[in-house]
Chains A and B, each alone.
Chain A
Amino acid sequence: MGPEDEAAFRDFAAAARPRLVRTAYLLCGDQHEAHDLVQVTLMRVHRRWRAIERADLPQAYARKVLTNLAASFWRRRLRAPLLALTAAGEPGETAGPDPSAAYDDRAELWDAVQSLPPRMRAVLVLRYWEDLSEADTAAALGCSVGSVKSQASRGLDRLRDVLAGQRQDDETWAAAAEVVS
């Protein structure tokens, strides 16, 4: 790659990276894994930069790579649980508990999303976080628009069921507490 391409890639990486990290985090649920996924994504984008820049597709290509990597992450985790090892002591590292543990806002919904199958979750993240159309979501995931529609519909149904059940439990507990008091 020439200097101009390098500069263009650096600009793209600097601009796209924060958003990619956040998307990766929503896809995999792990902040460290999210940074890793994005790093590998950018490496792959860098490798094919000239071609994808010519096609004016860097963002879409990066998103597609990222979703594929996230799917691989889930397959790997299901197949052989990775034993976490925290590296500490290097400046700039942020080893430590997941920041999401520090707050409970919409925790039930987050937990419910975590429990969805990877594909279904990816559809929801791309549709409702990336705000992609059904066609763009299908392109990113390499599937049909019909598949995206059905996955999104079933995913929302499952989230709704989970939340409805939890709210019912809350009401039951509240009623019981009222009786006791």
Chain B
Amino acid sequence: MTEQIEHELTAMFRDRAERLDVLPAPSRAQVRRGTLQAGLALASVLAVLAGVVLAGARLADGAGSGAVTSTTASGQRALADLSKALRKTLAARMVATTTTVGVPSKKNTKAPDLGFSAALGRGETHKTTYDGRAGLAVETGPDGQVETLAVGDVLYVHTDQRNDRFLPVTIGWVRYTKAQGTSTADWRRQEVQRAIPGLLQLYTEPPLSVDERNGRIRLSGPDLAGMQPVTVVQLDSSGMIRSVTSRWLLTMANAASDRLDRVTFRPLRGAMPSIEAPSPANVISSDDYGAEKANYEAQTNCPTPPPSTAPDGTVVHTQVDCLPPPPGATPAPTSTTPR
């Protein structure tokens, strides 16, 4: 009997292991970079929320609240890289599919609404698909300015929950390595300020902890069930930009696995034409949201369709028709939001 279970176990291990896709090995540079990060404290990584576009644009064009700081050559390059990466991210069409199971009540979720709430309220397994385009929603404070705060390591931009057309943009983060003889907070401020002046004006809140390991980013914190565009800017020890990448991240709370069983997310590469408009066109303050929404719908001739239910019970929220015209078609004029 023991021999039989040993044989079965060996066969099962072999079967499982051989079916596993082993990703290509990381490059030598990646390995060395990781070692440097751990051993020599040379690298710091900061990830910036799309709200950076706002600060970046203000810095770049010299407009804005008047609190703009001078921009160094390094900062200019950083802003250009950031803007480029963010525009690329925000130009992406995407499909997000969530599968929910056994959700007892809609009130149990405070997830941003990507169709989640409709699916979450049913108390049974449902699949919800969002197919649309990214945008930014930034809430303004009483004075009309974007509320900003810097606490801990996480940059945070408040989102406008009323915005049902655009995906929520909520989080960015900063990871840093403490320099000897410098307080952690001071070091971060110095480095970030040197690379991207004005960045610290952004709103920060510490409900989440973010961890980056070997290019993979993990997030722990409360139930978010949302997607965030995050731009990762890698700095070297001198504060110079090493690399800028931008991508969408999808959060799912394991702790709430009774709510969200599985979330898959995939960008549709090449399905969207490039967006030539400057990044501020994507930023919509809550005050302007109603007008902007109407303007957007008029341009695209695409009112928000109601959710539909597929024969298998799948709730589908679709905005496919709202996508920009294909290359070669006459582009719709892009409106900008005055700030």
Complex: chain A residue closest to B30, CB-CB: A39
- CB distance A95 to B17 under 8 Å? no
With A42-B31, A90-B245, A156-B5 in contact, do A84 and B254 touch (Cβ < 8 Å)? yes
A176: min CB distance to chain B, Å: 26
A153: min CB distance to chain B, Å: 8
User: Quick one: which of B2, B23, B92, B252 contacts A92, CB cutoff 8 A?
Assistant: B23
- CB distance A128 to B13 under 8 Å? yes
- CB distance B264 to A83 under 8 Å? no
For the complex, give the distance between the alpha carbons of A110 and B15 in Å: 10
**Chain B positions within 8 Å of A42 at CB level:** 31
- Does B251 sit at the interface, judged by CB under 8 A? yes
With A22-B20, A22-B22, A26-B13 in contact, do A40 and B213 touch (Cβ < 8 Å)? yes
A65: min CB distance to chain B, Å: 14
Residues facing A in B9-48 (CB within 8 A) are: 9-26, 28, 31, 34-35, 38-39
B264: min CB distance to chain A, Å: 6
- CB distance B265 to A86 under 8 Å? yes
B287: min CB distance to chain A, Å: 31
- Does B219 sit at the interface, judged by CB under 8 A? yes
For the complex, give the distance between the alpha carbons of A146 and B300 in Å: 72
- Does B248 sit at the interface, judged by CB under 8 A? yes
Residue total for A at the interface (Cβ-Cβ under 8 A):
54
A103: min CB distance to chain B, Å: 7
A21: min CB distance to chain B, Å: 5
- Does A70 sit at the interface, judged by CB under 8 A? no
- Does A180 sit at the interface, judged by CB under 8 A? no
Residues facing B in A21-47 (CB within 8 A) are: 21-23, 25-26, 31-32, 34-36, 39-40, 42-43, 46-47
B320: min CB distance to chain A, Å: 19
For the complex, give the distance between the alpha carbons of A32 and B255 in Å: 19
- Does A13 sit at the interface, judged by CB under 8 A? yes
- CB distance A86 to B38 under 8 Å? no
C-beta contact mask, A136-157 vs B, less than 8 Å → 1, else 0? 0000000000000000000010
Residue total for B at the interface (Cβ-Cβ under 8 A):
57
- CB distance A31 to B20 under 8 Å? yes
A80: min CB distance to chain B, Å: 7
- Does B281 sit at the interface, judged by CB under 8 A? no
B31: min CB distance to chain A, Å: 6
- Does A2 sit at the interface, judged by CB under 8 A? no
- CB distance A105 to B15 under 8 Å? yes
With A81-B254, A99-B20, A105-B15 in contact, do A89 and B267 touch (Cβ < 8 Å)? yes
- CB distance A17 to B252 under 8 Å? no
**Max count, chain B CB within 10 A of own CB: residue among A13, A92, A129:** A129
For the complex, give the distance between the alpha carbons of A174 and B175 in Å: 57
- Does B150 sit at the interface, judged by CB under 8 A? no
For the complex, give the distance between the alpha carbons of A21 and B249 in Å: 24
- CB distance A100 to B19 under 8 Å? yes
For the complex, give the distance between the alpha carbons of A7 and B264 in Å: 39
With A83-B251, A90-B245 in contact, do A13 and B2 touch (Cβ < 8 Å)? no
C-beta contact mask, B87-126 vs A, less than 8 Å → 1, else 0? 0010010000000000000000000000000000000000
User: Quick one: which of A21, A81, A128 contacts B20, CB cutoff 8 A?
Assistant: A21
User: Quick one: which of A43, A99, A110 contacts B12, CB cutoff 8 A?
Assistant: A110
User: Quick one: which of B17, B24, B92, B251 contacts A129, CB cutoff 8 A?
Assistant: B17
**Chain A positions within 8 Å of B20 at CB level:** 21-22, 25, 31, 34, 99
- CB distance B216 to A32 under 8 Å? yes
For the complex, give the distance between the alpha carbons of A92 and B269 in Å: 13
C-beta contact mask, A110-130 vs B, less than 8 Å → 1, else 0? 100100000000001100110
- CB distance B218 to A83 under 8 Å? yes
C-beta contact mask, B114-148 vs A, less than 8 Å → 1, else 0? 00000000000000000000000000000000000
A134: min CB distance to chain B, Å: 13
For the complex, give the distance between the alpha carbons of A80 and B213 in Å: 18
Beyond the given pairs A35-B22, A40-B214, A87-B249, 12 more chain A to chain B contacts, judged by CB atoms under 8 angstroms and listed by A's residue number, are A6-B28, A13-B25, A25-B17, A47-B38, A83-B220, A84-B254, A86-B249, A87-B247, A106-B11, A106-B16, A128-B13, A156-B5
List 24 contacting pairs A-B, 8 Å CB cutoff, sorted by A: A14-B25, A17-B25, A21-B20, A35-B23, A39-B34, A46-B31, A47-B35, A81-B255, A83-B251, A84-B254, A85-B217, A85-B218, A85-B249, A86-B252, A88-B266, A89-B267, A90-B245, A96-B264, A110-B16, A113-B9, A113-B12, A156-B9, A160-B2, A163-B8
**Chain A: residues with CB nearer than 8 A to chain B?**
6, 10, 13-14, 17-18, 21-23, 25-26, 31-32, 34-36, 39-40, 42-43, 46-47, 80-90, 92, 94-97, 99-100, 103, 105-106, 109-110, 113, 124-125, 128-129, 156, 159-160, 163
